[in-house]
Amino acid sequence: MDGSGRMRAAFLTEIHRYELGEKEPSALGSEDLRVRIHSSAICGTDLAIWAGKQPGLRLPIVGGHEATGVVEEVGSKVVKFRPGDRVVLSPTEFCGKCHYCRRGLEHLCERGGLRGREVSGTYSDYVVVHENLAYGFPDTIDFDAGTNFIALYTVIYGQRKLPHLTGKSVVVLGQGVTGLLHTQLARHSGAGPVIAVARSPWKLDLAKGLGATDTICAREKNPVEEVLRLTDGRGADIVIESAGAPESIRQSFEMARPAGTILQFGIGPKTVDDIPVQEFYFKDLTVVGSRAGMPEDFEMAIKLVAAGHIDLRPTITDHFPLGEIQKGFEYVEKGEGKTLRAVID
């Protein structure tokens, strides 16, 4: 904050336009933390918000929702943190009182919101959050990599909804940030083979280095045929669709074995034509949805990374200062080069 008590923040003022401005810092409640933001990532949802692909968006708004930082000030009743602690922030806020919150399903809160979409976000110098919406992490994990805790906790929640993975054949369709995390987590959980599918050879190289036993380049080979070949013609026990693309969503039904399970993790379009509905019956398939995650998934994410079981660093590929956030979004949208995750510093 400057001498006037104001702080810098990046406002999404119109579709495809971020502008750096100033705002008054939020008041600090008795159970709140004031966190100085160190790193805030640009993820696929941030990009969709910037491009106007999220309904009901009210502008202007401070964007961003995947952030790490340092606790600078604590409220009088805070018990979990003290100034100087390193934290990753929950991407959502919830009311604690609605039908879903009372049942422990805060991620489905009827009155909650995602930072940077319904709630002011993390592309700013400081953010004030309730202490229950922050999670401490050790200094062996850098701030940039720590922004991936948000992606990892959603991946953990999704895989918790699947059958036990030990000894199961698993296909991960799409090897973006979450796809690579799904690949790592499935391998750590004892799955095998773990088959990574992507269109970019360099992403498949990353997947191989992070635990994939087999890789399929969808530009060069038919993924369904290759999965059937690698599973003795039966299909995979579990298919994790992480790309959100109509083609890969359809393929997931074709490459899952009878009595197999599909985790629809990628955020796809509202509708997808030619979904083979009869496969539900003839294959006796289970299809699982997944949205966000639970507090225990955050805690597990931090434990897995701290223990060296999951590596978050390879997905951080680009950096931009807060003052160049517009340039950062334009760069990520173009998708040139080997970009996975850009971080706003």
Q: How confident is the model at residue 3 (pLDDT cuts 50, 70, 90)?
A: very low
Q: What is the pLDDT of residues 263-317, one digit of tens each?
A: 999 988 888 998 888 888 899 999 999 999 999 999 999 999 999 999 999 999 9
- 308-311 contacts, C-beta under 8 A, 24 or more apart: 309/184, 309/188, 310/152, 310/181, 310/184, 310/185, 310/188, 311/184, 311/210
Per-residue model confidence (pLDDT) at position 4: 52
pTM score: 0.94
* Confidence at residue 54, expressed as pLDDT on a 0 to 100 scale: 83
Q: Which residues of 68-97 are buried (b: 16+ CB within 10 A; e: fewer)?
A: bbebeebbeebeebeeebbbbbbbbbbeee
2, pLDDT greater than 80 = no
Statement: residue 62 has pLDDT above 50: yes
- pLDDT (tens digit, 9 = 90+) per residue, 155-176? 999 999 999 999 999 999 999 9
Model confidence pLDDT, tens digit, residues 177-192 = 999 999 999 999 999 9
For 223-243, the pLDDT digits (tens) are 999 999 999 999 999 999 999
Could you tell me whether strands 32-42 and 17-23 are parallel, antiparallel, or unpaired per DSSP bridges?
unpaired
Would you state the pLDDT for residue 1? 55
Strands of 17-23's sheet, edge to edge? 17-23, 7-14, 61-62
Average predicted confidence (pLDDT) for the chain: 94
Over residues 115-136, the pLDDT tens digits come to 999 999 999 999 999 999 999 9
From CA 339, how far away is CA 264, in angstroms rounded?
24
Counting Cα atoms < 13 Å in the Cβ hemisphere of 257 gives 18
* Cis before 295 (ω within 30): no
Mean pLDDT of 132-142: 96
CA distances from 314 to 18, 33, 138 (A): 27, 30, 19
List own/partner pairs for 247-251 with CB under 8 A and 24 or more apart: 248/173, 248/174, 248/197, 248/223, 249/275, 250/274, 250/275, 250/276, 251/173, 251/223, 251/224
Distance from the Cα of residue 84 to its chain's centroid:
26
